Amino acid sequence: MSLDPARDRSLAARLAGLPAAERDATLSALSDDAAIALLHDWSLWARPSQLPPDGPWRIWLLLAGRGFGKTRCGAEWVRGLVESGAARRIALVAPTAADLRDVMIEGESGLLAIAPDGDRPRYEPSKRRLTWPNGAIATGYSADEPERLRGPQHDAAWCDELAAWRYPEAWDMLMLGLRLGGDPRAMVTTTPKPVRLLRELLARAGGDVAVTRGSTFDNKANLAPAFLDQIVRRYQGTRLGRQELEAELLDDVPNALWSRDLFERAGLRVASPPSLSRIVVAIDPAATSGEGADETGIIVAGLGPDGHGYVLDDLSGRYAPVEWARRAVAAYHRFAADRIVAEVNNGGEMVAATIRAVDANAAVTEVRASRGKAVRAEPVAALYAQARVHHVGAFAALEDQMCAFTSDYDRASAGMSPDRVDALVWAMTELMVAESAAGWLQFYGEMAGRK
């Protein structure tokens, strides 16, 4: 379902648009209690596209761009179930424990923020649990820990950013436990990404899955003008903008070095790596750290006894130099890595100096790009094609970049710099490509010596 913007106006917006005399007469007829109640009446403030669709659906899939109001929709849906008595045991599932706390529960549009004073749930952070005055309980889960969903039963579930879940099997565990009550239902709020689970749910649209679509611009009345101006200028018309703002589910990029089908191939994702002979932390540092700066790519990867590569973590983000150095060094120690591999094209000697300022004893290998990004990435893409690289779980942001990376990659049209891909390429080059090349050189040397 996607509504015409002219029709997708809340009752409050329509009331505000009435002639002043008619509007004032309507409001003055309300008692004080009724006026206060309206402040928390979601049906008044919500746009029609933010309200649950009609019909006997089991899953409501809300696909929308950044700033649409997805979190508010999910929180208000849960509050409505609790207040009506339609749900007593609710699951809240986010990509990570931090997302659960910072977005779904404590966020500006989260469950605590939208609750009326007289019906605010009691939050127990150590138990990841919310308890309402009427006894309804919502328990929080991280999709990073799918096994925690094995066993608990629920009569409703709110799943946030499903397309970014690292372990999609968390969805299966959740669905198997969604069996309490006479009409157990789930709501999914997510920005669309062409992952297998999302495609499977969309294929069920019209059956037990109801789909609502929306864009960032549907909620422009509630977004800061400076934010809208910035994102329109930077991202509108780009592939990233089409996905993150317009909420388009994009197909594979023609001529991309990696495809979505590759990541759904049996064996590419593993639950845990084998004993690793080498582990590296690779960094592609950004030149600046301002709001509009590129990300710093930080990828942790290892080499298994089978000669295969394993991507262990993606710690990339927008950081100041000392911050990315701290994160890289922390990963270096946490994973017991044997070295940090850092590209120095942008920062020169300052890159290694920044790392050693955090840990003077960290082993650092400086690498410098002398060839184009695509030329360096092609041998790594070939390793994936040969099923010699595996991901420990899913890394949505990294895989998005990989599937958008082509031999003629254009940063302007893509709307982003492939910093995560660059860091991945440096990691796998250090672990597998360079090692393979060294092996061939040794082989040829030995053969030449026998002549």
Max Cα separation, the chain?
103
- Residue (of 233, 238, 234, 231) closest to 216 by Cα position: 231
- Residue (of 79, 107, 1, 87) closest to 47 by Cα position: 1
Alpha helices in 369-410 (DSSP H): 373-385, 396-403
- Domain 52-244: CATH superfamily is P-loop containing nucleotide triphosphate hydrolases (3.40.50.300)
Angle between the N-to-C axes of helices 419-428 and 373-385, in degrees from 0 to 180, rounded to the nearest 10: 60
CB 225 within 8 A of CB 75: no
Element (H, E) at 163: none
pLDDT score of 223: 83
HSE-up (13 A, CA, CB side) for residue 228: 12
Q: How many CB atoms lie within 10 A of CB 329?
A: 21
pLDDT score of 444: 40
pLDDT score of 380: 93
As a whole number of angstroms, the distance between CA 34 and CA 439 comes to 78
Please state which of the four CATH numbers 3.30.450.20, 3.30.70.100, 3.30.420.240, 3.20.20.10 is assigned to the domain occupying 260-439.
Answer: 3.30.420.240
Phi first, then psi, for residue 342 (nearest 5°) are: -125, 130
pLDDT score of 409: 60
pLDDT score of 287: 67
- Residue (of 382, 419, 380) closest to 397 by Cα position: 419
pLDDT score of 400: 85
Angle between the N-to-C axes of helices 396-403 and 419-428, in degrees from 0 to 180, rounded to the nearest 10: 90
Helices (H) and strands (E) in the chain, counts: 19, 15
Strands ordered across the beta sheet of 269-270: 269-270, 389-392, 309-314, 297-303, 278-284, 339-343, 364-367
Residues 6+ positions from 144 with CB-CB distance below 8 Å: 95, 96, 97, 166, 167, 393
As a whole number of angstroms, the distance between CA 338 and CA 280 comes to 6
Question: So where are the chain's domains?
Answer: 52-244, 260-439
Residue 269 is which amino acid? Answer: R
As a whole number of angstroms, the distance between CA 148 and CA 151 comes to 8
CA dihedral (397, 229, 102, 324) in degrees, to 10, reads 50
HSE-up (13 A, CA, CB side) for residue 121: 28
As a whole number of angstroms, the distance between CA 158 and CA 369 comes to 45
pLDDT score of 25: 74
pLDDT score of 231: 73
Q: What is the pLDDT along the chain (451 residues), one digit of tens a residue?
A: 555 555 677 777 777 777 877 777 777 777 766 666 677 788 888 899 999 999 899 999 999 988 899 999 999 999 999 999 999 999 999 999 999 999 999 999 999 999 998 899 999 999 999 999 999 999 999 999 999 999 899 999 999 999 999 888 999 999 999 999 999 999 999 998 878 898 899 999 989 999 999 988 888 888 888 877 777 767 766 767 777 888 877 766 777 899 888 888 888 999 899 999 999 999 998 866 555 567 899 999 999 999 999 999 999 999 988 999 999 999 999 999 999 999 887 656 788 899 999 999 999 999 887 677 788 888 999 999 999 999 998 898 899 889 888 876 655 554 557 899 999 999 999 999 865 544 434 434 444 454 4
Please, is 451 exposed, middle or buried when counting C-beta atoms within 10 Å of its C-beta (0-12, 13-18, 19+)? exposed
As a whole number of angstroms, the distance between CA 322 and CA 325 comes to 5
CB environment 128-155: b (16+ within 10 A), e (fewer): bbbebeeebbbbbbbbbebebbeeeebb
Please, is 175 exposed, middle or buried when counting C-beta atoms within 10 Å of its C-beta (0-12, 13-18, 19+)? middle
As a whole number of angstroms, the distance between CA 330 and CA 308 comes to 24
How many Å separate Cα 78 from the centre of its chain?
Answer: 22
pLDDT score of 57: 95
